[in-house]
Amino acid sequence: MELFFAAALAAMAFWNIRSREQGRRIALLGRHLARHQIEKHMETLTRGYLRALGEDDGERRRQIWVLLHGTERVLRAQFARMAADFAASGADQARVSKLPFYVPFAVRFAPAATFDMRQALALHARGIERAMDAGDASPRDRAFTICAELLLMQHTCHWFCRSRVVASARTLARHKTAYDQLVASVSPQTRAEYLALTGLGGAAPA
């Protein structure tokens, strides 16, 4: 019985610590995101890309691509500003644990096993801009890479707020895309920078 109560108390303490720490992270990132409409523009783009790719009429398809360029410009500008604003956050607030699961105080007691969210957002901003500037790619390939860059950025945001495993589960549930598939779908430069920053090496475990 005493063992049961000890385990219950430990579980409650773990839950409280996790809730407070994750709540601070969600609030911090939320304050920056609230100044923009990044998620709204992401949804507009992904739906627009699917519509264009499913359009049989060539002229109509071209018109949709042209209209989406305006949304792309707004999205890349807003995300670049958000990443720049977040860069002013303190180093202690921006550390992200590389461990797959949440471990209390991991970013404080194991700083070597963390990465900097400020660098991650800057990396994603460059990746999004690079994908949108890829004029030599076909519209389909360009749209595919842009979507991958956006979804990997979203995964990093969920990772910052929760954990890598939770972020991967959300990506799979919402977008039917496994984490390793997502990492493989971004541009080679983004992938190399991302794996170097997160310390995942040449593999992208879920």
**pLDDT beneath 70: ranges in the chain:** 1-19, 105, 109, 201-206
At residue 14, the pLDDT reads 46
For residue 205, being part of any structural domain is answered with: no
For residue 203, being part of any structural domain is answered with: no
For residue 182, being part of any structural domain is answered with: yes
For residue 112, being part of any structural domain is answered with: yes
The four Cα atoms 38, 43, 48, 50 give a dihedral, to 10 degrees, of 140
At residue 157, the pLDDT reads 97
Distance CA 205, CA 200 (A): 8
Q: How many residues does the chain have?
A: 206
For residue 204, being part of any structural domain is answered with: no
At residue 7, the pLDDT reads 47
For residue 169, being part of any structural domain is answered with: yes
Span 78-96, pLDDT tens digits: 999 999 999 999 988 999 9
For residue 206, being part of any structural domain is answered with: no
Domain extent for 29: 2-198
Q: What are the distances in angstroms from CA 134 to CA 30, 41, 49, 121?
A: 30, 19, 16, 20
User: Contact at 8 Å (CB) between 162 and 154?
Assistant: no
Tell which residue, 59, 79, 64, has the closest CA to residue 125.
79
At residue 200, the pLDDT reads 82
At residue 17, the pLDDT reads 54
For residue 133, being part of any structural domain is answered with: yes
The total domain count for the chain is: 1
